[in-house]
Amino acid sequence: MNAIETRTIALYRSAPPQKQESMWERFIDVIRRRTLGRLVEAEVHELTEKIVADIYYSRQKLDRDVTESARGKMSRWQKISELRKKYKGEADWGNQLVGVITDFNASMQWGQGIRTMAMGDQVRQKGEKPPEQIVWEEFLDFNDLDAEGGLDLGVCGELDGQVLWFWDVDQKEKQVRVWTVPLLETRYQIEYDSRPWEPARAILYPEDPDKKEVLENDKFIFVKLRGIPNGTYGVPTCARVIEEIEDLHKAQRDLRHINHLFASPTPVLTAEDDQARVRLETDLSGINWKIGKILILVGKDRFEFVSIPPDTPKPLIDEITVKVKFVSASTGIPVHFLGFPDLMSNRAVAMEDFQPAMIHAGKAQKRFVGGFEDLRSRILPVYGQLHGRNYDPNAIDCVFPSPQKGVVKELVEAWLPVRLSKQISHKTFLIRIGVEDPDDEIKAVVEEMEQVGVGDVQAEEQADRVQKIVALAQQNFSEAA
């Protein structure tokens, strides 16, 4: 034994024992023992595999911990930015779902635009409108708020959870132009003073001294669509389910990878011994064998395909099902509009599943109506200065039309029993089933009944009966008013 080996043995024997030996230390120990000729080759191979596996799973755990940590610490601005990227199709995960959810909810809220109706003493004869209604409808049309501009507001409200308006006079057109302030680009903040329900000022570009701009409360309208009552900002619809949306997309992609790997059949030939293996290799390469060609085996040769076990994709499918239900419940979107119609048991369930979407849209519409009420109180005085007259903001109101066509039957079935039991007036009933101008509709019904032929006694009796119902409904409405 030479001097180097003697020193190595002395160092090895003199090293103090470790209380808890790590995988790496074990590997170093194996290498030391190998230099002394005391190691079986299989032990090195086994330990190397364990080290590689340990490094791999440690890396996976590190990546998972980093991802979970990043998710948990994602700020409000990061969430808004991520949702914006997903909606534009620029993110890595969740683009399709965020786009569907945003566009669906925006269409439910603004798909039929917004309407203006006269209130109180301003209700006039058929075909006549109060001046306030004419001016306000021109304002909506000039800013496209009753068309594509409304859909843009819906998208903005879904992605940002809030809307900020400011306006200016277009002297050339003699109109008032309104703008929606972009949230992510300006990072505007809303501040409150002594009145927590009334915004005091809006600060645009608060972090940039060169661009910073402060709007006082009479120069803007702030609409918070979702959020806590005393909060200073709104909450985007998908903000609470960003992780689930990404996980759902990843689970679908994992399932796609599995299908891709096993979509091409992999043949496996088993030979009895090494001699048979050489024979099979020679025969197959000689005829350039491919799947679909005839193959003749002899002796104990076996042929089979490698296939995925039937229950392998089940955990992924279960995860996808759970995630899509959770996203549907959190956003109000029916699961069949998220791309999973197979989760609908029947048509009745599919129709009932629209209720959460209508509730979600109704809440947003109420917030928008409140915002338009404040906007009207600021804009009509500006029009009064342009036109040299006074306009009463309380003479009109803004309403969102009720859903039409496919859900009219359901609406009538829901509200007709309430009307027949005299719990609501006839005018309220017409409004609830989607009639835009209930007063004109009542008058039209009366006129049609009056035009019924004199010889038709049954029709005359029906007309009299309808007139009495209409008169009673108008009386009930007047008393309620």
Region of 336 (left: φ > 0; alpha: ψ -120 to 50; beta: rest) is alpha
* 337 falls within a domain: no
Pair 233, 101 in one domain: yes
- pLDDT score, position 186: 92
Shared domain check, 313 and 254:
yes
Domain that holds residue 57: 3-72
Length of the chain: 481
pLDDT at 454: 39
Q: What 3-state DSSP class applies to 75?
A: coil
Last residue of a domain, one of 324, 346, 374: 324
Residue-wise pLDDT tens digits, 95-135: 999 999 999 888 888 887 888 888 765 555 555 788 998 99
Co-location of 127 and 264 in the same domain: no
Q: What is the CA radius of gyration of the chain?
A: 36
- Is there a domain that residue 348 lies in? no
Q: Is residue 455 part of a domain?
A: yes
Q: For residues 121 and 205, state if they share a domain.
A: yes
* pLDDT tens for each residue of the chain, 481 residues long: 444 444 433 333 444 444 455 665 665 565 555 555 444 445 545 555 555 555 545 555 555 555 555 555 788 899 999 999 999 999 999 999 999 999 988 888 888 788 888 876 555 555 578 899 899 999 999 998 887 888 899 999 999 999 999 999 988 888 999 999 999 999 999 998 878 778 889 999 999 989 999 999 889 999 999 888 878 899 999 998 999 999 989 988 888 888 777 777 777 778 778 877 788 777 777 777 777 677 777 777 777 777 777 777 788 888 888 888 889 888 888 887 787 776 665 555 555 567 778 888 888 988 999 999 999 999 999 999 998 889 988 888 888 876 554 455 555 556 666 666 666 676 666 666 666 566 666 666 656 555 544 344 444 555 565 556 556 555 554 554 4
What CA–CA distance (Å, rounded) separates 1 from 3? 7
**Helices 314-331 and 242-263 sit at what angle, rounded to 10 degrees?**
150
d(CA 43, CA 22): 16
Helix or strand holding residue 201 (H, E): strand 199-204
On whether residue 173 sits in a domain, the answer given is yes
**Residue 345 falls inside a structural domain:** no
Note the pLDDT tens digit of each residue in 266-324. 777 787 788 777 887 777 777 777 776 777 777 777 777 777 777 777 888 888 888 88
Residue 232 and residue 102 share a domain: yes
Question: Does residue 134 sit in the same domain as residue 38?
Answer: no
pLDDT of residue 9: 37
Do 386 and 280 reside in the same domain of the chain?
no
Q: Do 303 and 288 reside in the same domain of the chain? A: yes
Together in a domain, 384 and 281: no
**Residues 138, 49: one domain?**
no
User: Do the domain assignments include residue 214?
Assistant: yes
- The last residue of a domain, from among 43, 72, 101: 72
The reply to whether 47 and 138 lie within a common domain is no
- Non-local (6+) Cβ contacts of 130 within 8 A are 118, 122, 124, 395, 396
| Inter-residue contact 395 to 132 (CB < 8 Å) | yes
Residue 308 lies in a domain: yes
- Note whether 116 and 192 are same-domain residues: yes
Q: Does residue 347 lie within any of the structural domains?
A: no
- The dihedral built from the CA positions of residue 431, 436, 442 and 445, taken in this order, carries a sign that is negative
Task: Tell me how many domains the chain contains.
Answer: 4
Last residue of a domain, one of 396, 416, 450: 396
Question: How much is the pLDDT for 271?
Answer: 79
